[in-house]
Amino acid sequence: MANRTVTKRELCERIAKQTGYAQVIAKEVVQMFLDEIIAELAKGNRMEFRNFGVFDTRLQPARKARNPRTDEVVDVPAKAVVCFKVGKDMQEESQSALAMLLESDDQ
């Protein structure tokens, strides 16, 4: 099964090609989109993209952890973490694509 990383640059190139806009414009739009997601999450808001998924923030409580090298117990402070819940359509599409990849690997 081939896993490869698609970069923001590649995504912008694809969008530019599909829309006919210059790559610079596509890059600016993608960056603005990402900046808006970050800004809303920083405010504690939830970002929902129907059938794709939901970005949300949760507070992870403070906890005790252990340094594996020294066996020392350390305090880890509470922090906000970003969570993503996959939407129904995205889940179904990715599952069927993965199933096809697994079948082709078996042959």
Q: Is the pTM of this model over 0.85?
A: no
Q: Are 83 and 44 in contact (CB under 8 A)?
A: no
The rounded mean pLDDT for the chain is 92
Q: Are 60 and 93 in contact (CB under 8 A)?
A: no
Instruction: Tell me the residue length of the chain.
Output: 107
* Stretch among 28-32, 46-50, 97-101 having the lowest mean pLDDT: 97-101
β-bridge partners, 66: 73
pLDDT in tens, 42-76: 999 999 999 899 999 999 999 999 999 999 999 99
Q: Which domains does the chain have, with CATH numbers?
A: 1-43 (no CATH), 46-107 (4.10.520.10)
pLDDT over 80 (residue 6): yes
Residues with Cβ within 8 Å of residue 62, at least 6 apart in sequence:
75, 76, 77, 78
pLDDT of residue 107: 63
